[in-house]
Structure formats: structure tokens, C-alpha cells
């Protein structure tokens, strides 16, 4: 037998959890996109030379571009 | 027979309902405040900041290897850190065992073990051996136990801990040796489908994506959800951190991939085209973060310029859905697994 009282207190607990969670999220310090995006761009640029899929590497140095077969272990 | 409400019970019920109403108002106010705070920082778009960056030229990427060892749909794969081995799992039909779709698999950092699980609701660890006579199934160790299917698993920085996500709506952190639950993560309102650990330099967090269309960022030590993003219009099938750890990408059944900036706390790019109408199953970045690879349910792989938001290439080859995609640890290639029973290595 479920009394109306039990239903209500369950909802209250859930609602309190949601409010607590939202308070945590609202309290976060955020930074403008113009600044954070600049950092994303800078990271890409700093690492572009060491990104083989980006630069493409010569067939002789890419281990997958030779004609060896794969072994099922 | 229900006893009549006493005056005390009636008063309590009224008080609870008042508290509930009060909490609802407060949560609405907080949600509005969150939206306003996020909007204030939206002073520019990512592709605008990237305007001065050189465009990317033509990309020629082809299948370099096709691996045909599976008897059924390939569901998941992972690279070993030595870059020479991969583990993959599939929907094998079994006669003697109950249905055991293996939906998740991961290589241990040492390369000495693999973890996998699926419809058995568990994540088990298998030691690896090159000795074909060893019965490895007998050495399997059950580590994680969920109340619904295991959707994804990942070792943390060592072979000692495993992070799992499940159809039961939770994620969990386990000690491999003892099988003990170290931390659980509650917050998703439906099945959790994917997870990714932050690069080790950026601390103890991970991101998860689910059927509730949300991507949540978690603090591994406290179990707290520290950020939540809800801009996708359907299930999120895949999440992957940008290599710097300051952002992550997601792929969804809504046919888009999106980029979320963690410090600005918002979505900063959508990778989509009107012609792309099938869901994304799996995403991963190239080493520099400039390229985002997406495996799609229309059998293709789309390659996106992360900064400019444009597509740079579309790759064909698979004869059914691409279900899993991972760039190799050294970034020289990426591997895709498909419902066409094969794995392909692209470079």
C-alpha cells in the first residue's frame, strides 16, 4: 500500500538532488570562447607536424603501407 | 484498508508538497541562470577563431588492411599500446552458452590482458598469452557486475582499475584484483552507451554519453558529475576527448558530431551536412586534434576539419554499418570495425 506521503518524500529527495547538482554546475568558473577556442587552435598548430594522418607520411615509413599480412592471435 | 489521514499526516503532506514546489522553482531558476552564464561566453564561433588557419588539402586515405577473422558483426575494437595488436569483439552465435553479445572490449595498458563484456552484464578480464595451448577462457576473471548490459569499458592508467558504462544508466570504477566497486556514477536518466577517460595529464575525469542525449563529465574520485551537456537530439553513441583534454567530441544517432569546450562549458562546433542522415556510431581524433573521424551507419567514414567545421573527406569500403573506430596510439592509422564482419585499417 503506497500512501501519498511516501510518494511525496521520494520526489522531494529527487528534487533536492537535482537542485544540488545544478548548484554545483552553476558555480563553475567559465571562460569566453574567444580565449578557449584560441587554445584549441594553438594546440592543433603546435602538434600538426607530429600528426601522421594529417601530414601523410611516406610509404616507406608507414608500417601499414607495406605488403605484410596480419596474424590472428 | 487504508487508515484515514490524521491531522498530523495531512500537515506533513502539505509541507512536503510545499518543499517540492519550492525545489522545482529553484531548479528552474538555476537552469535559466546556467543558460545565461553559458550564453555570455558565446562571443565568437570556433571556425571564426580558426579563419586564419591554413585550409587542409586533399586527403588520400585508403584501406591498407582488411581483417577477416570474425564470423559475425564486429561491435568493438581497441589498440594495444605497442601499436601492433588490436583486440576486437563481435556478435558471435554460440550454441552452448546463452546469448553473449560482446559489446565492449579494451586492451590493458601493459598489453598483457584484455577486458570485455556485453549482454552478460559483466566486464571480465582475460590474460593474454601467445601459447595457443593455454585455455584462456578458464583464466577469465569477472570484475564488474551491472544490472544491465555493459556498453563500454576502459582500463584507467594501469591494469589495476577498470571503468565501465552500462544499460543500467550508471558508470562504475572497479578494482581488477578484488572485483570491488570503488566508485559509482549516477546521473544519466537512461542507458549509458560510451565513455572516454581524460588524457592522464589533465586529471581524474572522464566523459560519458547516453540515450538521454546527455554527455556528462565526472570526477572519478568523488563520483560527482561536474559538467553536463544536452544539445544532441538523440542517443550519444560515442565520446572522445580532444588530445589536449580541454574539449571532447561526440557522435550521435542525430547524424551529427559535436565538439564541446570544457572551459567555456558549451558546445562550440557541429559537424553535419544535410546529405548525412544516418547516425554516427564512433568518433576519434587524429593526434593533433585537427581531424575528427566519424564512423556512420550508412557504411561510410566522414573526416572533419575540427577547427573549420567542414568535411575534408568521405571514405568508402565497408559493406555495412561502421560500428567502431579508433586511431592507433602512434597516430599513423585508424581502424574501423563493421557489421560486414571485417576490420579495416586506413592510412
pLDDT of residue B99: 37
Say whether B289 and A43 touch across the interface (CB within 8 A).
yes
> Is any Cβ of chain A less than 8 angstroms from the Cβ of B225?
yes
Say whether B288 and A54 touch across the interface (CB within 8 A).
yes
Highest mean pLDDT among B7-21, B93-107, B122-136: B7-21
- Taking residues B164-173, report their average pLDDT: 97
- Which residues in chain B have their CB less than 8 angstroms from residue A55's CB? none
- Taking residues B188-198, report their average pLDDT: 96
B217-229 burial by CB neighbour count: b if 16+ within 10 A, else e?
bbbbeebebbbbb
Residue with more model confidence, B46 or B127: B46
Lowest average pLDDT, out of B81-85, B194-198, B303-307, goes to B81-85
> Is any Cβ of chain B less than 8 angstroms from the Cβ of A6?
no
Kindly report the nearest CA distance between residue A33 and chain B, in angstroms. 6
By CA distance, what is A20's nearest residue in B?
Answer: B27
Structure-derived torsion over alpha carbons of residues B283, B288, B289, B293, reported in degrees to the nearest 10: -30
ipTM: 0.86
CA B227 to chain centre: 16
> Is any Cβ of chain A less than 8 angstroms from the Cβ of B263?
yes
B41/B264 Cα distance (integer angstroms): 7
User: What pLDDT, in 10s, does the model give residues B45-80?
Assistant: 899 999 999 999 878 899 998 988 777 888 888 888
Bridge partners of B248? B241, B260
Kindly report the nearest CA distance between residue B255 and chain A, in angstroms. 24
C-beta neighbour count of B14 within 10 angstroms: 11
pLDDT of residue B103: 80
- Residue B127: which pLDDT band, with cuts at 50, 70 and 90? confident
Q: Evaluate if pTM is beyond 0.90.
A: no
Bridge partners of B241? B248
Lowest average pLDDT, out of B183-192, B193-202, B269-278, B318-327, goes to B193-202
Residues of chain A numbered 35-64 and touching chain B (CB < 8 Å): 36-41, 43-48, 50-54, 56-57, 62-64
pLDDT at B93 over 80: no
The x, y and z cell numbers of residue B153, run together, are 569499458
Amino acid at each position: 500500500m503506497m500512501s501519498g506521503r511516501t510518494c511525496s518524500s521520494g520526489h522531494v529527495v529527487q528534487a533536492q538532488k537535482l537542485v544540488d547538482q545544478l548548484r554545483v554546475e552553476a558555480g563553475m568558473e567559465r571562460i569566453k570562447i574567444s580565449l578557449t577556442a584560441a587554445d584549441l587552435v594553438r594546440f592543433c598548430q603546435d602538434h600538426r607536424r607530429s600528426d601522421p594522418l594529417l601530414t601523410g607520411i611516406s610509404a616507406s615509413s608507414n608500417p601499414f603501407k607495406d605488403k605484410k599480412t596480419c596474424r590472428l592471435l | 484498508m487504508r487508515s484515514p489521514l490524521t491531522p498530523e499526516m495531512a500537515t506533513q503532506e502539505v509541507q512536503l508538497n510545499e518543499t517540492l514546489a519550492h525545489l522545482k522553482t529553484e531548479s528552474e531558476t538555476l537552469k535559466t541562470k546556467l543558460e545565461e552564464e553559458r550564453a555570455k561566453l558565446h562571443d565568437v564561433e570556433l571556425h571564426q577563431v580558426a579563419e586564419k588557419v591554413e585550409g587542409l588539402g586533399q586527403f588520400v586515405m585508403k584501406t591498407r588492411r582488411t581483417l577477416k577473422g570474425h564470423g559475425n558483426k564486429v561491435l568493438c575494437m581497441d589498440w594495444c599500446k605497442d601499436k601492433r595488436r588490436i583486440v576486437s569483439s563481435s556478435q558471435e552465435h554460440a550454441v552452448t552458452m546463452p546469448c553473449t553479445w560482446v559489446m565492449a572490449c579494451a586492451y590493458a595498458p601493459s598489453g598483457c590482458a584484455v577486458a570485455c563484456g556485453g549482454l552478460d552484464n559483466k566486464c571480465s578480464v582475460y590474460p593474454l598469452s601467445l601459447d595457443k595451448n593455454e585455455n584462456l577462457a578458464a583464466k577469465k576473471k569477472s570484475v564488474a557486475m551491472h544490472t544491465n548490459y555493459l556498453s563500454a569499458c576502459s582500463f584507467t592508467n594501469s591494469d589495476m582499475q577498470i571503468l565501465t558504462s552500462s544499460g543500467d544508466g550508471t558508470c562504475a570504477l572497479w578494482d581488477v584484483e578484488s572485483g570491488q566497486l570503488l566508485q559509482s556514477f549516477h546521473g544519466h536518466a537512461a542507458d549509458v552507451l560510451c565513455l572516454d577517460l581524460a588524457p592522464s595529464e589533465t586529471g581524474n575525469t572522464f566523459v560519458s554519453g547516453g540515450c538521454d542525449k546527455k554527455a556528462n563529465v565526472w570526477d572519478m574520485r568523488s563520483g560527482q558529475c561536474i559538467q553536463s551537456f544536452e544539445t544532441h537530439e538523440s542517443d550519444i553513441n560515442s565520446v572522445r576527448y580532444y588530445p589536449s583534454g580541454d574539449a571532447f567530441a561526440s557522435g550521435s544517432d542525430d547524424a551529427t558530431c559535436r565538439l564541446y569546450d570544457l572551459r567555456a562549458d558549451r558546445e562550440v562546433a557541429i559537424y553535419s551536412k544535410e546529405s548525412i542522415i544516418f547516425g554516427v556510431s564512433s568518433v576519434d581524433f587524429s593526434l593533433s586534434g585537427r581531424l575528427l573521424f566519424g564512423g556512420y551507419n550508412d557504411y561510410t567514414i566522414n573526416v572533419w576539419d575540427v577547427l573549420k567545421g567542414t568535411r575534408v573527406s568521405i571514405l568508402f569500403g565497408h559493406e555495412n554499418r561502421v560500428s567502431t573506430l579508433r586511431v592507433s596510439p602512434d597516430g599513423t592509422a585508424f581502424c574501423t570495425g563493421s557489421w560486414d564482419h571485417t576490420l579495416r585499417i586506413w592510412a
